[in-house]
């Protein structure tokens, strides 16, 4: 007589197969890896907002801007070798003989609650030891600019005092930073070559609970040309080197410096890439030369 498999045996076998497959499936589920804070600082924070791929240029100057996402950043800083400006001698300023219609600047800044800041270094006139103001621009001097704010705070532009303590020159290396140290107050520091300038700048739009973006900019500025198409010039600004750039963020009640690498900024080369020679290295280092006409 032929053996017959009992129904109960068949059910038992099916149950074992089912349980085995479930067990195997569970063993394939991998836990979410824990990313250390050090790795997040280096690459991307868990809740970090990434910047847009592109952004519209604003007319009026030749400039390279690296701008962060709009996120809970509280500042930006870096180390930079100051560049050399070569003038287009045909573009002398008719309203200020001895100066030209092109100028160099290298600066930080940002936008918070629709208030924009530009804070850094611009090529400027100086006073000599006798108090005489030079006719031509001779040194980089710190400057601070803010737009107006809906609070009623008015726009403002100012320079550091015209003293030799605050003059820097092409080829010198400086550390430069702005940091939101308390609501409505940015601390600006520039230091290098045995000199230091520091100021608390009042900016109503900047507060700890506000999302903001921060930027670094290298530019050939053009006198009285804001909002207009760039003017043709053979001026050039060469030799600028950002040795490192970082964004500031509060994590677990501590302020950390996050490298401003290429995934953390929108690359803007305005009005066109043909005016720039850029070389990158490391996490955030970059050399930038700007040419009006190449």
pLDDT in tens, the chain (294 residues): 444 445 454 444 444 444 444 444 455 666 667 889 999 999 999 999 999 999 999 999 999 999 999 999 999 999 999 999 999 999 999 998 889 999 999 999 999 999 999 999 999 999 988 899 999 999 999 999 999 999 999 999 999 999 999 999 999 999 999 999 999 999 999 999 999 999 999 999 999 999 999 999 999 999 999 999 999 999 999 999 999 999 999 999 999 999 999 999 999 999 999 999 999 999 999 999 999 986
Distance (Å) of CA 284 to CA 79, 197, 212: 10, 24, 20
Closest by CA position to 64, among listed 234, 282, 272: 272
The pTM (predicted TM-score) of the whole model is 0.88
Task: Provide the pLDDT for residue 224.
Answer: 94
Distant-in-sequence, close-in-space partners of 5: CB < 8 Å, separation ≥ 6: none
Which DSSP category does 43 fall into?
S
Q: What is the pLDDT of residue 108?
A: 98
User: What pLDDT sits at residue 263?
Assistant: 97
Confidence (pLDDT) at 13: 43
Name 192's Cβ contacts closer than 8 Å, sequence gap at least 6: 168, 172, 173, 174, 175
């Amino acid at each position: 007589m032929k053996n017959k498999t009992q129904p109960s045996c068949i059910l038992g076998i099916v149950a074992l197969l089912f349980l085995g497959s479930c067990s195997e499936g569970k063993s394939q589920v991998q836990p979410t890896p824990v990313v250390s804070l050090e790795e997040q600082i280096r690459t991307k924070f868990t809740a970090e907002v990434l910047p847009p791929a592109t952004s519209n240029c604003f007319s009026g100057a030749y400039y390279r801007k690296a701008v962060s996402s709009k996120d809970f950043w509280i500042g930006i800083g870096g180390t930079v070798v100051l560049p050399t400006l070569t003038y287009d001698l045909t573009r002398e300023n008719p309203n200020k003989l001895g100066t030209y219609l092109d100028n160099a600047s290298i600066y930080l800044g940002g936008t918070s609650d629709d208030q924009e800041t530009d804070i850094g270094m611009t090529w400027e006139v100086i006073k000599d030891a006798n108090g005489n103001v030079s006719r031509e621009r001779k040194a980089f001097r710190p400057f601070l600019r803010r737009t107006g704010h809906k609070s009623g705070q008015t726009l403002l532009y100012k320079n550091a005092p015209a003293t030799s303590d605050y003059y820097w020159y092409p080829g010198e290396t400086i550390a430069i930073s702005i940091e939101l140290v308390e609501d409505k107050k940015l601390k600006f520091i520039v230091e290098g070559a045995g000199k230091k300038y520091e100021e608390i700048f009042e900016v109503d739009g900047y507060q700890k609970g506000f999302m903001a973006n921060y930027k670094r900019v290298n530019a050939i500025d053009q006198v009285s040309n804001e909002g207009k198409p760039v003017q043709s010039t053979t001026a050039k600004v060469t030799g600028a080197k950002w040795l490192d750039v970082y964004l500031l963020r509060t994590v677990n009640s501590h302020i950390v410096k996050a490298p401003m690498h290429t995934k953390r900024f929108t690359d803007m080369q305005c009005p066109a890439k043909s005016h720039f020679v850029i070389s990158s290295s490391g996490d955030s280092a970059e050399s930038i030369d700007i040419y009006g006409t190449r």
